[in-house]
Structure 1
Amino acid sequence: MTAGRAAPRGPAAPHGPVRVVVLDHTAELGGAELALLRTCRALDPARVAVTVVLFSDGPLRERLRDAGVAVRVLPLDPGIARTDRAAAGRSVLGAVRSAVVTAPFVARLGRLLRELDADVVHTTSLKADLLGLPAAALSRRPLVWHVHDRIADDYLPGGLARVLRAVARHGPRHVVVNSRATAGTLLPLRRGWTLAYPGLAPEQVAADPAARRAPEVPVVGLVGRVSPTKGQREFVEACALLAERFPSARFRVVGAALFAEAGYEAQVRELAARRGLDGRLEWTGWVADPVAEVDGLSVLVHASPVPEPFGQVVAEGMARGVPVVATAGGGVDELAVAADGTERCLLVPPRDPEALAAAVARVLERPQEAAARADRAWKDVQAEFAVERTAVRLTAVWEQVSRRGRG
């Protein structure tokens, strides 16, 4: 299959739909998990029958079941499930210990894959990638990796990144990536690869952005998990620069920190107080409907200090017709500029609050220019980043590598 080229929908397979078992180590509602949920809803049941196997229980299980997706939970040792990327890459001894601890789990997973009679095993997180590799081999099922992370030293521990790059070239039958930026951290791959952007569901796209009720005063917001990788610190610094220039402006941090990142949130809140933003900056905590939050903004800010694999919140802002200011790098660059070179949002260098503040000021001071840019982005994302395109590309991959399709 040619990378990055959508395959057309076709008739159902002569022996029924391809049986795909998707593996994910978490049942929390992260970006990759929400993308999986949207994709499952968009699949053609005449061509694909999906079962999702989660290595822990959580809200994703119920969301998938509500969408009519078959779900199984195969619990992984909590200590392994909670291991973060930094810890995973710290030492060879730690990696050996993890392999020993997970061996019984891998055996159980292999048996489950045979029980489910999978035609294809599709992994959608880094832990699932590594655990799915031996399990797929044991069950003699073809494996597809869906990589949502840049496999680079600036995004992952260096040792872990090197291992993942090596395994990606020799282990899975096919690799799916969420952006060309992610692909660039893995290439060259000995086997095939396919670009499948995380798709936007129809309900995420505004029917008419012009009908959106603009805030009475400027509202500048950052939406996403509170984490050093999302740039709330840089956002707060930029807000402090904007506060005097726009006395009526208000600022919002939409999202919450995970337990391990609570200390970072406390530091950023303290910084906001020192910068005199009390009463101007609101911390919403976790919200059930980020679409409503995005609709209430004058400017959506993406401030990640390291290149993002894709930049889902940028696409979500564009889909609502909201002007976006984003830090350059990674998959965001693919979102920010159309094929003809037209800007869909303003890009600024990462870790540069002054540049971030200047770009936000430009949006607020040139509303017609910003509206035209946002309108172009709104039109483009419907064509290029629709979840139906994602579903078609994944279906083509699964049919290609299926053990039935290969005889």
Structure 2
Amino acid sequence: MTTALFVAHTAAPSGAELATLRLVSALRDQGRLGVAMVYTEDGPMVERMRARGVETRVLRGRFDSRAMTIGSGPLRLVTGFAGLLRLGWSLGATARELGAHVVVAESSKALVMGAVAARRARVPLVWQVHDRLARDYFGRLPTLVLRLLGRLFSRGYLANSRTTLATLPVGRRPALVAYPGVELGPDLPRRDQRPPADTVVAVVGRLSPWKGQDVLLRALAATKVRPRQVFLIGGTFFDEEPYRAELERLARDLALPVTFTGHVDDPAEYLRDTDILVHSSVLPEPFGQVVVEGMHAGCAVIASTPGGPAEIVQPGVDGLLVPGGDERQLTTALDTLIGDPALRTELATAARTRAKDFDITETAHTVATFLYDIAQRNGAAGTPHSAERAPHG
């Protein structure tokens, strides 16, 4: 059987890592592709992956996943890069030990490690890209470097949306849009949409300036009817703790009924009690997993554009779209939904149907085929699980 080795630089439960957990789990459950996972540090995702029955290793090395964050100084970047190269050499040995036929890098840092590991193990490298490879996110120089690394070492690309794919230096290399599928499960019962004055609004995501939680708070302060409760669901990572303090001050100054939940492993319980889910990113979102999760939970959704949410939400049918960072238009959309529970119900009902288009099982089917084909081109594919055919989508 063809085996894919997935590599992540962090074991913190952020959006990309949770998407990887769902994908690798679904691939394992389908049984068409052997899978294994490697992290460069211990953390919550290690035990979660192992709990799903996935072979999971932790590479021990002198590398701090925060050493190469956006905005790091030159010395930290050089030190971090050297650490990634060392880990990549060790990763190559692990890939050979596990009999991997293809290495899948789950981040830009994993790409650096994977380039070394794939060469040592003599297998192809696929870069699964969770972020737009653009200057407004990475900065000019890192974007140029990552484009070059991808072009030199990647034998294929997995992109989490058409928006992300458009930023990649694909050239003639194989590329697939593989939406970060959601583990939908059954449609659970939920309460009816509340009257305007009792409305509950939520935003789900890491507390980070580009996620635009401050934009949402200012937009809410200008609504004709303020909601009864606002949930900011998400923790802080990568030295962004000061932003939470800024949001707390803003909520107090605007006298908004905001609850900060911190990181929540599974926000489904909050979403089932939420009337309106707002996605408020000020930069184009690569995909927007929380949009799908909110739709599946039966929320009326407002999401920002451009970016991945425009590939999910059909405006006026199963949600509303507004330009990212535009407080006035966000306030208008909030006024529209807060003041009209019947419209909320109509959009939320259609949203539950639309969410089914993003089931993780469908994504896993197409990814299994893609990775098998990449390994086959390299002459590294093992015997498929089914002798009659390769995995198909």
The answer, yes or no, to whether TM exceeds 0.5 is yes
The AA in structure 2 aligned to 1:19 is T
1:201-244 CA-to-partner distances (Å, cap 9, x unmatched) read: 133x6245xx43545711111111111121111111012112xx
Counterpart of 1:359?
333
Counterpart of 1:226?
207
Counterpart of 2:18?
34
Q: Residue 196 in 1 paired to residue 178 in 2?
A: yes
Query: For the residues of structure 2 that align with 1:241 and 1:376, how far apart are their CA atoms?
Result: 28
> Structure 2 vs 1, CA of residues 179 and 361 (structure 1 numbering), >3 Å: closer, same or farther?
same
Query: For the residues of structure 2 that align with 1:197 and 1:120, how far apart are their CA atoms?
Result: 20
Root-mean-square deviation (CA, aligned residues, Å) is 2.1
1:381-402 CA-to-partner distances (Å, cap 9, x unmatched) read: 20x2110111111100111011
Identity of aligned residues (%): 36
Counterpart of 1:157?
139
Pairing partner for 1:389 from 333, 357, 362: 362
Counterpart of 2:235?
256
The AA in structure 2 aligned to 1:264 is Y
Q: Secondary structure at the match of 2:342?
A: helix
1:301-325 CA-to-partner distances (Å, cap 9, x unmatched) read: 1111111100111111111121011
Deviation of the 1:23 alpha carbon: 0.5
> Structure 2 vs 1, CA of residues 184 and 327 (structure 1 numbering), >3 Å: closer, same or farther?
same
1:148-180 CA-to-partner distances (Å, cap 9, x unmatched) read: 000001111111111212222332111000000
The AA in structure 2 aligned to 1:323 is A
Query: For the residues of structure 2 that align with 1:370 and 1:355, how far apart are their CA atoms?
Result: 17
Query: For the residues of structure 2 that align with 1:372 and 1:179, how far apart are their CA atoms?
Result: 27
Counterpart of 2:390?
none
CA contact (8 A) 2:14 2:206 kept: no
1:47-75 CA-to-partner distances (Å, cap 9, x unmatched) read: 21111011111111111111110100002
Q: Which 5+ residue runs of structure 2 have no aligned equivalent?
A: 381-393
Q: Secondary structure at the match of 1:253?
A: strand
Deviation of the 1:359 alpha carbon: 0.3
Kindly report which structure 2 residues correspond to 1:64-213, keeping only aligned pairs within 5 A, or say none. 64-79=49-64, 81-87=65-71, 91=74, 95-203=77-185, 206-207=187-188, 211-213=190-192
Q: Secondary structure at the match of 2:222?
A: helix
Q: TM-score, length-normalised on structure 1?
A: 0.87
Q: Which 5+ residue runs of structure 1 have no aligned equivalent?
A: 1-16
Counterpart of 1:289?
266
The AA in structure 2 aligned to 1:318 is M
Deviation of the 1:370 alpha carbon: 2.7
Q: Secondary structure at the match of 1:225?
A: coil
Query: For the residues of structure 1 that align with 2:32 and 2:140, how far apart are their CA atoms?
Result: 40
The AA in structure 2 aligned to 1:141 is V
Q: Secondary structure at the match of 2:134?
A: coil
Counterpart of 1:22?
6
> Structure 2 vs 1, CA of residues 145 and 202 (structure 1 numbering), >3 Å: closer, same or farther?
same
Deviation of the 1:106 alpha carbon: 2.2
Deviation of the 1:358 alpha carbon: 1.2
CA contact (8 A) 1:37 1:64 kept: yes
Q: Secondary structure at the match of 1:176?
A: strand
Kindly report which structure 2 residues correspond to 1:52-67, keeping only aligned pairs within 5 A, or say none. 52-67=37-52
Q: TM-score, length-normalised on structure 2?
A: 0.90
Pairing partner for 1:235 from 206, 212, 216: 216
Counterpart of 1:270?
249
Counterpart of 1:319?
296
Query: For the residues of structure 2 that align with 1:130 and 1:102, how far apart are their CA atoms?
Result: 6
Deviation of the 1:286 alpha carbon: 2.5
Query: For the residues of structure 2 that align with 1:121 and 1:256, how far apart are their CA atoms?
Result: 30
CA contact (8 A) 1:168 1:189 kept: no
